[in-house]
Each structure stands twice: as structure tokens, then as C-alpha cells.
Structure 1
């Protein structure tokens, strides 16, 4: 199993980025541009599965190493962004909305902001789309995926479904 550089995957990432970018510039330019997020999820799932299978195949996979790699790659920059968003939001938001900001930052820091933001807007407060950490919902989903992915791969690698092989 080869996990080297894949120009085809990089091309798909570029397409996904452009879809999301143009959608955020103006929804009317590319109404379906939000599908770029789905494409990012598929690419991430594919790459993480291939990397994990490669590590299992080479007998170098451990659950601890899997999670340490994810933490080292994501947490530092993510928490710096959350800190910046907290200071900027505290300065720019009205005092009455700081509770919503605090809840948003904490849920983003715990990678559960997708659950908080799925509740929708607060009638009396700032709109969800105005939240400085609203974009963290997608990384929350990805991190939740990372919690289960190695267990699923490891289990099915050790106990493959016989129905797939008996056709």
C-alpha cells in the first residue's frame, strides 16, 4: 500500500477548496459550492484510512500513536485560532452575547461545536453565521470521526466480513 504524494488527491483538494471559497464569496455564484466540504470529508477519510492500513500492514500502528499524530497536527494551530477568536470576539461582541461566545469557544475547544451550532440561531442574540468560530463545526465532525476510525479499521482488519470474500 503506497501512501506517497498523490497529485490526484491534491487536485481534488484544490477543487474542494475552490468550491467552498466561491460559495463563501457569493452563494449565487456557485449555489452547490458547500459540497466542497463533503469532498474534504471524503478525501480525509480516504487518506486516514490508507495511512492507518499502511501502518497496520507494516506493524507500526498503535492507537496512541494515531491520536498523538492527530493532536500534534491539529491542536496547536487550532487552539491559537480559538484564543485569537476569543479575544477578538470579546472586543467586538456586545456584552450580552459574551455567554454565547464563551459557549462556542468551549464547545469548539472540545470539538463538539457541530452539536452546538446545529441548534440554530438565538432569536435575541447574534446569528450563528456571525460567530467567529462557526467554521469549527467541520473540524469537530472530523475529530469525532478520528475517534472511531482506527477502531473500525482495526476491527474489520482483524475480523473481515466473510460475505465480501465469498462472492
Structure 2
């Protein structure tokens, strides 16, 4: 398959061929705009924290607290990360201290609202399930019933950004 379909390698050849046809006919951007015309206004770390905490409080009240939530311009899709969840423990004196952080790639500052929601749900799910296993995806679907479809469409979005050489879908 074409190298510009690296985000879709796990999908069947039939799906990849349909995406290639959309790319060749310059229709992938139109498809994405039609499906995800809604934007969001979560453009800074404070707004992102409020957004993430609202989702966390709705679905994961008993999960560990988050010490930091932020957009991170250093997270690049090239490194196979759109967001990160880190859990750090250290001993300070006689106490064991731990902190959870969620960092979301800055690419989502201007992405469609559904994609920001999907990546936040993904990172929140890591608070309870560290691995991408059955329990992890069940938790994602609990918080966002259309999780798998949105993940696929977000992969289309990344493919579109890369193939068109653009910073964001406009």
C-alpha cells in the first residue's frame, strides 16, 4: 500500500483502496469536512484542563487525580503519538508520591471537535487501563460509543493532513 497510508495499515486492503480513491480524486478533505464541520474553542491549556476534567468527572470519578493537562507542541504524529499519559512515582522522604499527566498534541487545537474528544477519551482510559487491550477499548466505548469510528476518521484526517502537506484541515 502507498506510504502515505501509514495511519491505515491495520485496515483491510478494500478500505485502503477506497481511501486512495478519495485522495486521488481530491475528495478526502471534502468527506472529512462533511462529517466533521464542527469546531471547538479549546485552544489553551486552561480550557483543555476544564474539558478533560469534565469528562473525567463524568465517567471516571474514582480514577487517580491528574496533576497536569496540557497541549504539547513537542508531541508529533511522526512519533506515533497524538497524546500521552504518563504516570510518575517517586519517593520523597518517607512518602511515595505519584502523579498522572495528560498531554495532547497541539495538532488538536484546531482539529474538529470530535477528534479532540476522541483523543481525550483515549488518554483518560489509560488512567485505568495502561495497555491497549479489550478492557481499554470497552472503557473508551463506554465514554464515547462511536469511539472506533472516530478513531478511523481521525486516521483519515491525519492522512489528509500529510498527503496535502497542510497543517490543519480548513
Q: By percentage of residues, which structure has more strand?
A: 2
Q: Comparing both chains, which one has the higher relative contact order based on Cα–Cα distances under 8 Å and sequence gaps of 6 or more?
A: 2
Structure possessing the higher radius of gyration over alpha carbons = 1
Task: Compare the two structures and name the one with the higher helix fraction.
Answer: 1
TM-score if structure 1 supplies the norm length?
0.32
TM-score, length-scaled by structure 2: 0.32
